Structures are given as structure tokens and as C-alpha cells.
Chains A and B, each alone.
Chain A
């Protein structure tokens, strides 16, 4: 009998502890597949954030480091400058990347550091129990905006790809979603391209992934996917926000 679907080599055997329907688990697998396909497991260092994905180092079967809340891009900068030949990716939630770590994100991007950022936008703080995130959408309810986010009170969310696309530094910025199989495949293509860019030494790449958090949203896994489809994608349009590989370098 021929095996046609198996666990990527770049994943460990440890069972994941994410909630049912959580996007993190899907993205972990996609990263492992990309690492396998490029055959770079032995030269990759992954950076786990503070957030639900703090356990990423248990699940990916390569050298891993976990850093302070929001500071992955700074640590990635240090690693990549000392060892330009290793492949470095940081994996960050929206609180990590767009609240406490906003400065690190923007400055690593504008310096054009040659590493890859995988940005999980689930519009909520998952790990701490569902508080408002910098990406929580207007009207969305959280435990610190119980009547729903009101821009007059809480301000507006941050649109990360749009914001970073104004900078000269990034080479590639794309937003994808995990709500259906076709989009998951697109997400993998985007991740693959981001790693390719790093392998070619071209510079900063970031893939934003709209990702369901059924627990934080108080929805079933299926309803959470529908929520991504109906609410998130209209607020955070999918697509390529910047791609310098298409243009001639100036």
C-alpha cells in the first residue's frame, strides 16, 4: 500500500494542545511542509512568540527559540546578522506583532531584514482569555470590549499589511486566510514564496494569515470559519500587498 499523506518530517510526534478548529495547528503544519519541501530543516531556526503559539518549539522539529512578548523580529535580526546562512522565521500573533511589538515589526521591516514573519491574525488575544487585540474589528466583542469594539472608545484596528506596504524595506507582503481548503492552499503558496525570498537573500517577507480562534470568539469551529469568510475578509481584504520580486530592482 502506498502512503499518500503523512506527517511532515519537520513536525515532532508531540500531540498539539490547541483548541479544536484553531488556525495555529493548520499553519504549523504548513510551515513544516514548506521546510520539508525546501529540505532546509537542518538550517532553519524558528522563533516562537508569547501567545497561544508559545509551544511552537515543541511541535516543529528544528532548532527553536522562544522570545519575549513582541520581540521576535528583534531576536530574528540578531540571529540573521550573525548567521546569514541560517533560515529564520518568526511566528507571531496579533497582540505580539501589532501591539506590544509594533515597533520591532515596523523597524525590522523597514531595515529590510532578511527573514520571514508569519503573522497569525485572529483578531483577539487567545492565550490570555479573549481580550481585545489591535486587530479586533469594530463591533467585535471581546472580554475587554464586552459591548463590541467601538472605534470612538477603543480606536480603530491596525491593518498590518496595508501599514507595512507604505515602507520601502519589505520585499513581500501577502494576506491569506484559513477558512476553506482553497485558501489554505493559497496560504501555503504564500509561505513558500516568503521562504523562497529569504533563501534567495532578497529581504523582508511577511505573510498575514486570518485565522479562526473558536474559543476566543465563542463560536464552533465551523461557525468560526464562516466568521472569517463573512466578517474578517471584508475588513481585511486578501491579496498581495507588496511584491518586489515582480519588479526590477532599482
Chain B
């Protein structure tokens, strides 16, 4: 057979000259949350993205569709979210830093693939830019996918590291953190944002340098063809129940290490607080406004903002519950985060709730009212 023109799409190899840094580290600019996340991922070494359009995260694939080609990576608009996550499965298995993004319904479809990646111990990074649910819901910002993100909806004893930004700055920074954690623990890691964080523009600047993917530590488990080494197998079927039990305990140990080492949270004015608001993401942004307003009026409000939703900052909340009588959980849902707060508080304090589901964002004033109500 004659050699002839390639008929298939050709994957471009990264050329040095193509590795455009684009933005200088520390350079301040106005950026949209979704685009900051996308550029942050590219800077952090993302070279493979597959996804399927869904509002309110479309700016992510739109941005990456041209940006990844500039750095010699691959962008694929897949036929479904199921296909997209399985493309990541393959791309991660051969060693790339991979990414997908979606919202509610799409993340639901990716769950099976995410479970497979935990079972294969393959790293991956994905972002969920939450919209209102259940069902088709709406396209407004919500936090009703907290359970979906921190519990997962797919099969098996697995966990996903979950980071919750509350600013465009963090949207830009967290992909790197997610990739580093995913690689370190060989487990998927995600960013949980919402429609507001995805769509809003804010000044930000990348705080880390553009990463040279060739200089990342080599992975000794990826498939490359078995030249000069023993063959490798990636398989999630463990038919023998003793073998599967052993693997599950291995995951247990890994998740224990993550819980011990990777908890992140922001703490404000907890020292003298009479009430502590627990909120993440957009609800935390709003609650900071409440905190300022309340303190002006002499109400001693403190704030715990979980940054890692899993592993959850359980210890600090538990400690605070020994000396603070009231907690107020603020979230844009009918109450999901509150269950983790209840587990952390262990009945030592009163837990109040202010929720705004359905795509509505609470105001600082509204939350202040809830604070006053709680302190009555």
C-alpha cells in the first residue's frame, strides 16, 4: 500500500515556539471566571480537553478550543459527556494532564467515568459550574450540586477532591492546585463553581508561572507501549473479592492521607464571634458582606469558608463549636452543606440555616436578617 495523505485528524506535537505564556505571572487584568479557569488550566499543564456544551460553563470549552491548539494540546467537542469523560480516561492513561467541564446534568453523565478513574487511580481535573436543578432546572447560579460533588453519584467507595473558589482569582489559581493534588494522589480532583463565579468579571492575576509539561515528574503507571520495560495493565475489574477488598482499603488509606493533609479553609473573625457563618463559593462572598455589615452594627459575626469541600474542614468547625453557640449555614440550595456542618458540630452548638435554591443569590442584608433571627 502506498503512503498517502493522512485522512485522520492529526494531533499536533507541541513546538517550543508555540508554548505561549500569554500572561505574565502577577500581571493584573480583568477576566471572566470561566476564562480564568480555562487559562489557569492551560498554565497548569492541561493539554487535553474534551467536553460537551452546557450553560453556564460554555466559555471554558470555547476558550480552550483555540487556546489548547496554541500550546500543542488537543480540544475535542465530544458527542456527549459520557464520551468526553472516557476520552479523558484514555488521555490520562497515556500521561496527559486532562480536563473536562460541565454543569449539573452533564456532571451526572460523567459520574460513571469518574468512578472508573478512581478505580484505575488515574488523575484528572474537572470543573462543575453549577446551575439550578433538579432535572433541567435552569441556567442561574446555584449550589444544589454539593452532594453530587462531595458524595458522587457513581458506583463504589470513592472520593473526589473538591475545591470551591469564591473569586475569579481563585478560579484562575485552583486548576493548578487541582492538577497537583490529582497527580499526587492519583485521583480525580474538581473545582466546584457556580454560574455567577463562571460569568462574572473581576481583576485577577495568575500567581504561578506557566508550567512546562515536559518538566513534570514522570509517571510510572502510564501506558506508552512496553518498550524496554514490563507491560502495564490498567484494569478496574477485580473479580476476586479479597483482591477488591484490599484495593478498597488501599483507597481508604489514600483518602485518610488526603483528609489529614489537604484540608483548606478561610477563617475570618472567629476569635470573638457570637455566631459563625459557614458558607462556600458565592454564598461565602455574600456572607463576607454580611459580616462587614454586622460588625458595623456591633454584631460579632465570624466566618468559616471551606475551600476544600472534600476533605471537609471538620476539625476547625468542631473546635469552634466548643466555644461558639450559634452557627448559620448559608447556601444556594435547600440544605446540603449543612449536613457536613452538622457532622462537624457534633451537636455541640445550634445550627441555623439560610438557603436560596432555584438559581437565586441571597443578598448580604438578607443574610444579616437571618443572623439577627438566629441570635434572638
Q: Which residues of A contact B (CB under 8 A)?
A: 41-45, 47-48, 54, 57, 61-68, 71, 74-84, 86-87, 103-104, 106-107, 111-114, 171, 196-197, 200-204, 244-245, 249
Contacts and interface: CB of A to CB of B under 8 A. Distances in A.
B48 A81 contact: yes
B83 A86 contact: no
Given A79-B90, A79-B223, A107 B82 contact: no
B235 A202 contact: no
A83 B13 CA distance: 9
A2 B96 CA distance: 46
Interface in B68-87: 74, 76, 78-80, 82-84, 86-87
Contacts of A200: 1, 3-4
A244 B94 contact: no
Contacts of B129: none
Given A57-B233, A202-B6, A81 B76 contact: yes
B237 interface: yes
A68 B116 contact: yes
Given A74-B78, A78-B50, A201-B8, A67 B225 contact: no
B233 A64 contact: yes
B234 A81 contact: no
B235 A75 contact: no
Contacts of A68: 86, 89, 112-113, 116
A171 B6 CA distance: 10
Contacts of B4: 200, 202, 245, 249
A69 B161 CA distance: 25
Contact of B91 (A41, A66, A81, A201): A81
B136 interface: no
27 contacts: A62-B225, A63-B223, A63-B226, A64-B231, A64-B233, A66-B233, A67-B86, A67-B90, A71-B86, A74-B83, A74-B89, A75-B93, A76-B90, A77-B87, A81-B9, A82-B11, A82-B94, A82-B95, A84-B13, A86-B224, A103-B79, A104-B86, A107-B78, A114-B9, A171-B8, A244-B7, A249-B5
B200 to A, nearest CB: 32
Contact of A57 (B120, B224, B235): B235
B243 interface: no
A78 B86 contact: yes
A77 to B, nearest CB: 5
A79 B235 contact: no
Interface string B192-225: 0000000000000000000000000000000111
B15 interface: no
Contact of A67 (B7, B9, B89): B89
B8 A112 contact: yes
A115 B86 CA distance: 16
Contacts of A203: 6-8
Contacts of A111: 8-9
Contacts of B232: 63-64
Given A74-B87, A78-B87, A83-B94, 19 more contacts: A42-B225, A45-B94, A54-B237, A57-B233, A63-B231, A65-B120, A66-B233, A68-B89, A68-B112, A74-B78, A78-B91, A79-B93, A82-B90, A83-B95, A112-B8, A113-B9, A114-B6, A114-B9, A204-B8
A75 B233 contact: no
Contacts of B78: 74, 107
A186 B92 CA distance: 36
Nearest to B113: A68
A67 B7 CA distance: 26
A218 B103 CA distance: 47
Given A67-B116, A112-B8, A200-B3, A78 B231 contact: no
Nearest to A68: B116
A42 B226 CA distance: 5
